Structure formats: C-alpha cells, structure tokens
A and B are shown apart, each in its own frame.
Chain A
Amino acid sequence: MLDLYDKVQEACAFIRKAWHHTPHAGIILGTGLGPLVQRIEVQATIEYEDIPHFPRSTATSHRGRLVCGNLCGLPIVAMDGRFHMYEGYPLTQITLPVRVMKFLGAQVLVVTNACGGMNPNYRAGDIMVIDDHINLMGDNPLIGINDDRLGPRFPDMCYPYDPELIDAALRIARNNDIVAHRGVFVAVAGPNLETRAEYRFLRGIGADVVGMSTVPEVIVAVHSSMRTVGFSVVTDMCLPDSLEPANVEKIIAIANEAEPRLTSLVTGVLAHEKSRSHSSSKVSTKDT
C-alpha cells in the first residue's frame, strides 16, 4: 500500500496539468445518473485511460472520464463513470480516484448510486440520503500495510456520512418537494442480483437498500478525513414476496427519470457548501 501514495501523486500531477484549480468537492456519478455532468461548467475533461494508475470503467451505462469545472459556483471534479468490485478491480484501485480528489484539495465527497429498495415504505424512483452503511462486500480497500500519510490504521466509522450534510440534503429535498428517505445502504460484491432469501436476510440485518458500490469509496473518504454525503436512487423495488426479474432498461429509465431530482439535491448540497464557506472562515476542517 506504500506505493499508493506515489500513484496518487502521479495521477494528481497529471490532472493538474489539464486543470489547475483546487476542487471543493469530488462527485461520483452512479448508474444512469451521468446527465448531472451537463450542469457542470466544464473546464477540462480527462479520459480515465489517460490518467496514470486510473482503472477503466467497463460497466454498462458508465462512461469513463473525469470532468473538472464549476458547479453552483464551486470548483468540483466529477467522475463520469465509476469502477465496481464485480468488474474484477482490487478495491485499492477502485478507490484511488477518491484519494486523488482528496490530494487535489477536495474536502467533500458526493457519492451517488442506483440501488434496490428493500424497505417496503420506499417506491421505485425515490431517493434515499444514505445515513449509514453495512459492508458485506467481503473485502475492504484499507487492507494492506497502512500508509499514515493517507490516513489512520483503524478509521472510526461512527459517522461515515456527515450528519450536517445529511440534514442539509433532507432540508433541500423538503424545500423542493422531493421525496427523500434517510436509510441504511448495504453493499454486496455482486454482480448477480440478490436472491429472495438474500433480500430477506439483508432487510433483516437492518438495511433499507442494497447496491454494489459506494461503500469502498466512502471508507476511503473517511480514511482521508473527507466529509461525505451519499444519495441512493431506488431504481427497482426488491420485495421478496413480490419479486420480478430485473429489467436493466427499466432500471436505467427510472434512474434517468430520477436524475433531475438527484441533480437538485446535489446542486443544493453544493450551494449549501458555498454559503457555508462564505459564512464561516474555518470551513470544512472537521477532524475525524
């Protein structure tokens, strides 16, 4: 893991040649949620394959480029296309872009994903603000010799998602008439969708939604002492007693339908960050 630091520096150096601003936030766009990129005042676009040590995205409906620019008046970097464990990448590689965002100067990580809803009070198309997560991926991006330059050996996970940003996101949702839940995301490795028995089990251990991403990136964000806010778009309901075969086109259609609402929440959170940085001189130096 000690060579990770150098890899992060090399990737940062490459990105800085194309874009020399300091991002306030890094954004990771999940399945079907790429259109948010259109809201960015783009200053630079870098293909993943050109960035040293970045893996390439192979998943359907994911692109593979880093978009740098302004959103809501804040400098941001956005990952248009993300990496998944089920594609075969090691988690250290999947999460390298988060470390790169941190070393470029980002204080906040915004993660989005498409997920299966297991809480029967949810509906397909709803958005859940992630309050907490359960890691059932069977792996962890921090396994290996710890590099203290990157973060602590045993990161505390009491609040992996920043409580203040969760509250801000829920407030923005209320003000914009958007249905937003607050719940628990469980991450599995995938790539197969879950069996009915697995849905019952995952629901039983306290999860509201299930997905195949996000948790590795958030663990690394906590390790990097970034403040994180996460949004899950419920793209299909996974109620074991009335389960239908998954339809990828339908899932992507629901993600696309939800995308404007998700964009409102993401831009709302960034606007909140901007007003926060105006009203406070000691912005975003939360010690974790």
Chain B
Amino acid sequence: MTADALSADWIRQRSPNFSPRVGIILGSGLGALADSIRPVAIHRYQEIPQFPRSHVAGHAGNLVLGDLGSVPVVAMQGRAHLYEGWSIDQSTLPVRTMARLGIELLIVSNASGGISSRFRSGQSVLIDHHVNLMFRSGISLSNERVGLATYGVPDRTASIYDPVWLERAEKEAIDLGFSLPRGTYLGTLGPNYETRAEYRAFAKMGADMVGMSTVPETIVASQLGIPSLAFSIVTNVAKPDAPSKTEHSDVLEWSRNAQKQLIPLIEQLLRKYFTDR
C-alpha cells in the first residue's frame, strides 16, 4: 500500500462518515482559520502514518477535520517545507492524502516577500501563476510510489490556479470590501531570505512575490485534477534599493493582519459554492 493510501485509510477509519470536500493548507500565521472549523477530528501529524512533521515555530502540525460553516473540510495546520529537508514526495504527501479523502478544491495560503512595488506589507494577493525555482519537481513519475492510477504528467494547458475560482475569489473580496490583486509567486528552497540581487533577479523573471512553499503542493493537486485557490500574504515588500532586515516575528505580525480579510473570504466562498449542492 502506498504512503498516501495508508494515511488516508488511517484517517477514514477514525472518521468513517466524514467526507471533506475542500482541503485547506494554512500557511505562516494563518492557523487561526482552524479556530473557525467545528472539529470532527484533530490528528497530530506525528500520529498519522507516513505524515511529515512540521518543525517551524508558528506551525502547529495538526490535521483538522470538521465543518467550516456547513462545508466539510480538511485543514492542514502547519506544512512540511522543503527547507526542513523533506523530499518533494514527503512534503506533498498530505495533498495526495487529502485527494484520496475526496477534496474537490485545494485552498492554500502562504506568507511571501513582495517584489512588485504595487504591493504593500500585509497585502493579500491571489496567486494566478507561479515560477518554480525550487529545483525540485513536484511531480513524481513513479506510479507505484505515489499509487494513483491517474497519475501522469499534467496537461500543460490546464491551469494550476483555476481561472473560475480566481474570479469567484476576486468578486467575493470586492463584496467584503477589499481588493485582491493577482500576482505571480516564485517558489525558492530557502531557508535564508533573499539577497538584494536575488530580489532584482526574481523581478526580472516576472515574479511579484517570493516564498518557500505552495508550488509543490499546487503542482501535485493539479496532477490529481484538483484545482487550487492560492492566497499569498505579502508580509514585507522587498526594497532592494533600501533594504531592511526581515524578522520572522514581523512576518507573523503581517500574517495576523491579513487573516482578518482572508478568513471571512474563505468562509464566504465555501458558503456560496459548496452548500447549494
């Protein structure tokens, strides 16, 4: 049995009557959305067979199954980053597990460094494209290893970030009274923050923001036919011509501010698009 089948079976055995429709990955400081979920089950990552554990301060490392509004969801509180030493297969295992549990949409959030001068610190951005500069493929080509018959190379014409969901999120943001610009997210390995020269290089490559997560997860979801809706919270706008130091505590502070917008937005989207069926 494959790793994702083992972990999915373990979860199903404990909540046999629960079928999540939406998977949510809560990035840096966004763990508070989990507080809005009426839990059916909460599993610590280390309990779940095959699951990677999160080592980062501010990442709890829990899989929360429950209802957000009236929509059954499965939420990852904490993620396994590549900079912690996890392989692509290990770090994306929870996405494959959530796919096996039946999710129809993957919602991802992350904290990023802003490159585009259009953005300000604390700004929430919809990711509509990414640049994969992680030098690791999110796609495992071994069917046996990942264990899904449909596994293959994704259709390059398919959108990783579904245009339908992008438009829905934009409209709901306007309804809630804030703007949600789109941007291109560039994924790096980390863990060090970028140099001034790297910020300038990434800008020339077409990136609007840079971070150390998300890209492997959304590639794997796309490969499994699951659309992704990804939010990036610009925690600090990099100004390579007038650099200032980035502290992890600042990153957490900006994330806390952004979630006041994003949490109602995600609740609204689920209410609107997942409760009428």
Contact = CB atoms under 8 A, between A and B. Distances in A.
Interface of A: 1, 131-135, 138-140, 142-146, 153-160, 184, 186, 204-207, 219, 222-223
Contact of B82 (A132, A143, A154, A206): A143
Given A144-B83, A145-B85, A186-B201, 19 more contacts: A132-B197, A133-B198, A135-B198, A140-B189, A143-B83, A143-B85, A153-B57, A154-B192, A156-B192, A156-B245, A156-B247, A157-B193, A157-B198, A158-B243, A158-B246, A184-B197, A204-B204, A206-B197, A219-B192
> What is the predominant secondary structure among interface residues of chain B facing chain A?
loop
23 contacts: A134-B197, A134-B198, A139-B135, A142-B83, A143-B83, A143-B85, A143-B189, A144-B84, A145-B55, A146-B191, A154-B191, A154-B192, A155-B191, A155-B192, A156-B192, A156-B193, A156-B245, A156-B246, A157-B198, A158-B193, A160-B195, A204-B204, A222-B192
A86 B163 CA distance: 41
B190 A154 contact: yes
A205 B243 CA distance: 19
Contacts of A144: 83-85
Nearest to A144: B85
Nearest to A204: B204
Interface in B73-90: 82-85
Contacts of B190: 140, 142-143, 154
Contacts of A205: 200-201, 204-205
Given A205-B205, A206-B200, A134 B85 contact: no
B134 to A, nearest CB: 8
Contacts of A206: 197, 200-201, 204
Contacts, number: 91
Most A-side CB within 10 Å, residue of B190, B195, B244: B195
A134 B199 CA distance: 9
B191 A143 contact: yes
B263 interface: no
Nearest to B245: A156
Contacts of A153: 56-57, 191, 248
B196 interface: yes
Interface in B218-272: 243-248
Contacts of A223: 192
A140 B192 contact: yes
B55 to A, nearest CB: 5
Contact of A140 (B191, B200, B204, B244): B191
Given A140-B191, A142-B191, A159-B243, A133 B197 contact: yes
Contact of B192 (A131, A157, A204): A157
A207 B205 CA distance: 13
B194 interface: yes
Contacts of B247: 156
Interface string B171-204: 0000000000000000001111111111011001
B135 A132 contact: no
Contacts of B83: 140, 142-144
Contact of B196 (A135, A142, A158, A219): A158
Contacts of A159: 243
B225 to A, nearest CB: 29
Nearest to B205: A205
B198 to A, nearest CB: 5
Contact of B193 (A139, A154, A186, A207): A154
Contacts of B84: 143-145
